[in-house]
Amino acid sequence: MLRFAERVPADGAVLDVAAGAGRHARLFLARGHSVCAVDRDVSRLADLAGRRGVEILAADLEAGGAWPLGDRRFAGVVVTNYLHRPILPAIIAAVMVNGVLIYETFAAGNERFGKPSNPDFLLNPGELLEAVRGRLRVIAFEDVEVAVPRRAMIQRIAAVAEP
């Protein structure tokens, strides 16, 4: 993820989807970006509340309602360890022209290492590639087994929205 952070346009806002404790929001904030961190439970982001350049949005992304960010676009969209297929098109559409999508989550095969093991939370082979096909230009893609921080099957993509 870090290796693609520099590809996010320097003056652009970054969306951290399913932000959790805000690891990526904090990274991009430290790099000088404004950030919007979205999660169902924003309690672990409380220390960022009120900081300049930080927007915290409490939203249940799996509730079935409208995408909570409407038609807003971001220079960077970051998603890690999260998959809810119905909002994948909205996540991709949230990348502005010349912006970057950085997405990493668990993939099929992870069930042999533990959780998540439910296929609803595991990407199928090439699924991220297929999701961005015709919409974003892929600059990196991996579907690999990793050992750190623990053994897991991971799919990663970095892709740019071109004019």
How far is 27 from 60, CA to CA, in rounded Å?
A: 23
How far is 82 from 106, CA to CA, in rounded Å?
A: 8
List, for residues 117-151, the tens digit of each pLDDT value: 999 999 999 999 999 999 999 999 999 999 988 99
Q: Give the global pTM.
A: 0.95
Q: What is the pLDDT of residue 3?
A: 85
Q: What is the pLDDT of residue 1?
A: 63
CB atoms within 10 A of CB 73: 16
How far is 111 from 157, CA to CA, in rounded Å?
A: 21
pLDDT tens digits, the chain, 163 residues: what are they? 678 999 999 989 999 999 999 999 999 999 999 999 999 999 999 999 999 999 999 999 999 889 999 999 999 999 999 999 999 999 999 999 999 999 999 999 999 999 999 999 999 999 999 999 999 999 999 999 999 889 999 999 999 999 8
- The residue extents of the domains of the chain are 11-160
Torsion of CA 30, 35, 37, 42, to 10 degrees: 60
CATH architecture entry for 11-160: 3-Layer(aba) Sandwich (3.40)
- Buried b / exposed e over 112-128, threshold 16 CB at 10 Å, is eeeebeeeebbbeeebb
Q: What is the pLDDT of residue 98?
A: 96
Q: Pick from 64, 72, 82, 62: which is nearest to 35 by CA?
A: 72
